[in-house]
């Protein structure tokens, strides 16, 4: 909970991780390249006072609870693990450790797990077992996961559909999607989100949360999300732009509010890439610069929904009655009729 100027904000951090990228867990050079890439994101977008030493960034098991719940105002956080089994011996996200924390603090932590449709039938069995073991409400999918000769998959691959059908059966309703640089074939844009369009249409009873709101393809994300009421935007990676690129951040938020509305945007720190404390404080203080006249100012209600109420609703996380808010009207743009959806080339 964060309180400022008499307003209280219920905080759900919808994307956190507990990773181990220490050298002894790195399987190859790519393990180092991957964590170095994260660390550069961290150093580049964090205020200087919030930058961690590199050693601590590799593994931070002891400080997670403090960063989120003591210092970071977070009421509830959701693990969204990436496996990266080709880069790290025990994977990047530490399943047992994260799940143990979630079991110790069920009121504070939700554990989502991951699957890979390229694991075929055996993976389906594993997903069944995982759903039972972890009590899964959601999964995190990284489409650029390397897997032998394959370095990526698409959400509308036939095998992925088998997994979504099983998700439906098992009550795993919340599908978090993270796009990465590799996909098969490499001919196409790996960050393209058009496959989201297909699955969202075919699985209307599942929620698809597109992490980092489709960045670097905000435009494609907005266009798809406005047409599909079960597509949501996660603000991982987008939030920290508030610090050095506030005008860019203002435009991202302005576009999201225009295209998908205030009820389908979720705050996340992407911990430990960034820490929630400064993000929450700054977002509550944030306002759209006046000269960006195409956007209305952000309201307190919008900030409350984004910071926690939206994700709480998706995950049935109890929110004190005095902090709840009603839904807004449908976004100005949609959902539209499918026939109107073709603005070829724009």
Partner 1 sequence: MTVAGLARDRQLEKEAYNALAVVVDPELDEPVTDLGFVRSLTVHVEESGLGVEVHLRLPTSFCSPNFAWLMCSDAKDAITALPWAHRVVVALDDHHDSDLVNAGLAADADYKQTFRHEAEKDLEELRTTFRRKAHTAAMERCLTALLRADPGRPVESVGRVTLADLPADRHTAALLRRRAALGLPAGPQSLVLVDHTGRGYPPDRVPMTLRRARATRISIDGNAHFCRGLLRTRYPGSEADQAQRPEGAEPADVSYDPGYDPTFIPLSTLRKEHHP
6 makes contact with partner 1 (CB under 8 A): no
β-pairing verdict for 2-4 and 7-9: antiparallel
Contacts of 120 (CB under 8 A, 6+ apart): 159
For residues 63, 64, 65, 71, the Cα torsion angle rounded to the nearest 10 degrees is 80
24-53 residues in contact with partner 1 (CB under 8 A) are: 29-30, 33-34, 36-37, 40-41, 43-45
**Interatomic CA distance for residues 284 and 286, integer angstroms:** 6
What is the contact mask toward partner 1 in residues 180 to 199, using x (rule: CB under 8 A)?
Answer: xxx-xxxxxxxx--------
Question: What is the nearest approach in angstroms of partner 1 to the Cβ of residue 272?
Answer: 17
222 counts as binding partner 1 under rule CB under 8 A:
yes
Distance CA 234, CA 246 (A): 18
Which listed residue (15, 76, 113, 217) binds partner 1 by CB under 8 A? 217
Among residues 104, 244, 299, 324, the one that binds partner 1 under rule CB under 8 A: 244
258 binds partner 1 (CB under 8 A): yes
If one asks whether residue 90 binds partner 1 (CB under 8 A), the answer comes out as: no
> Using CA atoms, how far apart are residues 126 and 138, in angstroms rounded to an integer?
15
Distance CA 25, CA 304 (A): 39
Tell me which of 252, 273, 306, 307 binds partner 1, using CB under 8 A: 252
When the beta carbons of 229 and 308 are compared against partner 1, the nearer one is 229
Helix (H/G/I), strand (E/B), else coil: 257: helix
Distance, CA of 172 to CA of 166 (rounded, Å): 8
Q: Which residues bind partner 1 (CB under 8 A)?
A: 29-30, 33-34, 36-37, 40-41, 43-45, 149, 151, 180-182, 184-191, 215-219, 222-223, 241, 244-248, 251-252, 255, 258-259, 291-294, 333, 343-346
């Amino acid at each position: 909970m964060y309180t400022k100027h008499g307003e209280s904000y219920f905080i759900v951090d919808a994307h956190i991780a507990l990773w181990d990228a220490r050298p002894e867990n790195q399987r190859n050079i790519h393990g180092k390249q991957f964590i170095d890439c994260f660390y550069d994101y961290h150093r580049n977008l964090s205020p200087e006072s919030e930058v961690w030493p590199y050693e601590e960034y590799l593994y931070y098991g002891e400080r997670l609870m403090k960063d989120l719940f003591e210092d970071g105002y977070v009421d509830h956080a959701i693990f969204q693990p990436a496996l990266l089994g080709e880069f790290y011996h025990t994977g990047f996200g530490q399943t047992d450790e994260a799940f143990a924390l979630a079991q110790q603090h069920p009121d504070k932590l939700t554990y989502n797990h991951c699957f890979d449709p390229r694991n075929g039938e055996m993976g389906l069995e594993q997903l069944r077992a995982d759903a039972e073991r972890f009590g899964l409400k959601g999964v995190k999918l990284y489409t650029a996961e390397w897997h032998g000769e394959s370095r990526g998959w698409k959400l509308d691959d036939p095998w992925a559909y088998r997994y979504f059908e099983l998700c439906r059966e098992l009550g795993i309703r919340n599908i978090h999607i993270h796009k990465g640089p590799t996909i098969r074939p490499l001919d196409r844009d790996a960050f393209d989100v058009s496959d989201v369009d297909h699955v969202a249409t075919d699985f209307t009873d599942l929620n698809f949360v597109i992490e980092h709101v489709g960045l670097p393809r905000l435009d494609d994300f907005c266009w798809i999300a406005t047409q599909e009421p079960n597509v949501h935007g996660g603000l991982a990676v987008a939030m920290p732009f508030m610090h050095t690129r506030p005008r860019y951040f203002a435009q991202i938020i302005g576009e999201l509010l225009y295209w998908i509305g205030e009820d389908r945007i979720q705050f996340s720190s992407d911990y430990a890439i960034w820490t929630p404390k400064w993000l929450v404080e700054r977002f509550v203080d944030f306002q759209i610069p006046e000269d960006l006249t195409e956007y209305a100012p952000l309201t307190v209600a919008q900030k409350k929904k984004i910071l926690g109420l939206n994700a709480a609703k998706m995950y049935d996380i109890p929110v004190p009655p005095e902090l709840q808010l009603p839904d807004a009207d449908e976004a100005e743009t949609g959902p539209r009729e499918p026939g109107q959806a073709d603005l070829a080339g724009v």
